[in-house]
Amino acid sequence: MVSAPTVVVIGGGWAGLAAAVAAARAGWRVTLLEASRHWGGRARRLQWPDGRGGSLTLDNGQHILIGAYGATLGLLEQLGVPWHRQLQRVPLMLPRPDGTGLIPPGWATRLPAPLALAATLLTARGWGWGERAAALGRAARWMAAGFTCAPQATVADLAAGLPPRVVDELIEPLAVAALNTALTKACGATFLRVLRDALHAPAPAGLAPSDLLLPRGDLGALLPDAATAWLARRGAALRLGARALALARRNGGWRVRLADGTALDADAVILATPAPEAARLASTWADDPVCPAPEATAVRGWAAQAKALAHVPIATVHARAPRGWRWRWPHPLLALPFEARRAPAQFVFHRGAAGAGEDGALLAAVVSSPDPSWDGDRKGLAAAVTRQLAAALACPGVQALAAVVERRATFACTAGLRRPPGRLADGLLAAGDYVAGPYPATLEGAVRSGLAAVGVLRGDILA
Domains of the chain: 6-44+219-310+414-458 (3.50.50.60), 92-210 (no CATH), 311-411 (3.90.660.20)
pLDDT of residue 55: 79
pLDDT digits (tens), the chain, 463 positions: 558 999 999 999 999 999 999 999 999 999 999 999 999 999 999 888 777 777 788 888 889 999 999 999 999 999 999 999 999 999 999 999 999 999 999 898 889 999 999 999 999 999 999 999 999 999 999 999 999 999 999 999 999 999 999 999 999 999 999 999 999 999 999 999 999 999 999 999 889 999 999 999 899 999 999 999 999 999 999 999 999 999 999 888 999 999 999 999 999 999 999 999 999 999 999 999 999 999 999 999 999 999 999 999 999 999 999 988 999 999 999 999 999 899 999 999 998 743 344 456 899 999 999 999 999 999 999 999 999 999 999 999 999 999 999 998 999 999 999 999 999 999 999 999 999 999 999 999 999 999 999 999 998 655 5
The Cβ-side half-sphere exposure at 398, using a 13 Å CA radius, reads 31
The backbone region for 292, taken as left when phi is positive above 0, alpha when psi lies in -120 to 50, beta otherwise, is beta
What's phi and psi for 159, nearest 5 deg? -95, 0
Alpha helices (H) along 26-124 = 70-78, 83-86, 113-122
Quickly count helices (H) and strands (E) in the chain.
15, 21
8 Å CB contact between 371 and 341:
yes
8 Å CB contact between 63 and 219:
yes
pLDDT of residue 361: 83
pLDDT of residue 353: 43
Which residues touch 118 (CB under 8 Å, ≥6 apart)? 136, 139
pLDDT of residue 444: 96
Give pLDDT tens digits for 57-99: 888 888 999 999 999 999 999 999 999 999 999 999 999 999 9
Q: In 3-state terms, what secondary structure has residue 341? A: coil
Whole-number Å distance between alpha carbons of 400 and 376? 17
Give pLDDT tens digits for 233-244: 999 999 999 999
CA 149 to chain centre: 24
**The whole model's pTM is what?**
0.94
